[in-house]
Structure 1
């Protein structure tokens, strides 16, 4: 069994007309629906900003600009019945291609090839039963003026 470890992540919030771009997923054990922005692990030797640029390109095939660090969150959680611990650098950015903002949903692919779809959601989509994760992200986005 692998040694538990803290995972370094970078997430990017894309905001448009009071909505943010998030992936909706379900915990296989608890069956809880959650929402999370685009992003992923920071590779050794890579800055969190470089990780965001790479992740958005790999997952959505899009280039970004105006990258800005919003803050850092520490996330302790249970997913798929197992404890997790993440240090998350949260960024805001813009897509280089403005037509991306006209799409209600965007198809993407995880690094293992698994498909996913991101959609634009406003704050009314998130609740205790269907949270925006990681914990604290909603408050961070509200304080930055990116979410109502």
Structure 2
């Protein structure tokens, strides 16, 4: 959730499959009337590392455990969502699901705070071609 004047620290996990797809959460900006996609993860809480936050968030959201977790980069993101300015520091990881069943699913519905969300497998080419929007800006370089 965006709070004015707050910089959020986030951990995001990039998970790919063998068919050149990536596992992402689908979002919608009501102000822009725009669908976008973002890697799963969430906020780092006081007293935990970004890697611990990544594992916790995946478990809380979709009951998935992660393995082969590899730190890629730290990225700063300034953006507008629903008409409000946002500022995030993102710790980006590459990882895999422990349970192979997640690679067989097309999508998973989950709750994030009070919002219903969907995570799904999306072909990376759809972002490279500009057909779909991947956030944050510049995230495509990690794919």
Alignment partners' CA distance in 2, 1:61 and 1:113: 17
**CA shift for structure 1 position 3:** 5.0
Aligned to 1:14: 15
Identify the match of residue 108 of structure 1 among 100, 110, 115.
110
TM-score scaled by length of structure 1: 0.87
Aligned to 1:61: 63
Alignment partners' CA distance in 2, 1:81 and 1:91: 29
Query: Where do residues 40-59 of structure 1 align in structure 2 (5 Å cutoff)?
Result: 40-59=42-61
Alignment partners' CA distance in 2, 1:3 and 1:119: 30
Residue 27 (1) aligns with residue 10 (2): no
**CA shift for structure 1 position 49:** 0.0
RMSD after superposition: 1.6
Alignment partners' CA distance in 2, 1:72 and 1:122: 24
Aligned to 1:71: 73
Residue 124 (1) aligns with residue 94 (2): no
Q: Is the 8 A contact 1:32 1:130 kept in 2?
A: no
Q: Is the 8 A contact 1:75 1:85 kept in 2?
A: yes
**CA shift for structure 1 position 136:** 1.3
**CA shift for structure 1 position 137:** 0.9
5+ residue gaps, structure 2: none
Paired residue total? 139
Could you say which structure has the higher strand fraction?
Answer: 2
**CA shift for structure 1 position 134:** 1.0
TM-score scaled by length of structure 2: 0.90
Q: Is the 8 A contact 2:4 2:86 kept in 1?
A: no
Alignment partners' CA distance in 2, 1:114 and 1:76: 22
1:16/1:5 Cα in 2 relative to 1: closer, same or farther (>3 Å)? same
5+ residue gaps, structure 1: 142-148
1:102/1:3 Cα in 2 relative to 1: closer, same or farther (>3 Å)? closer
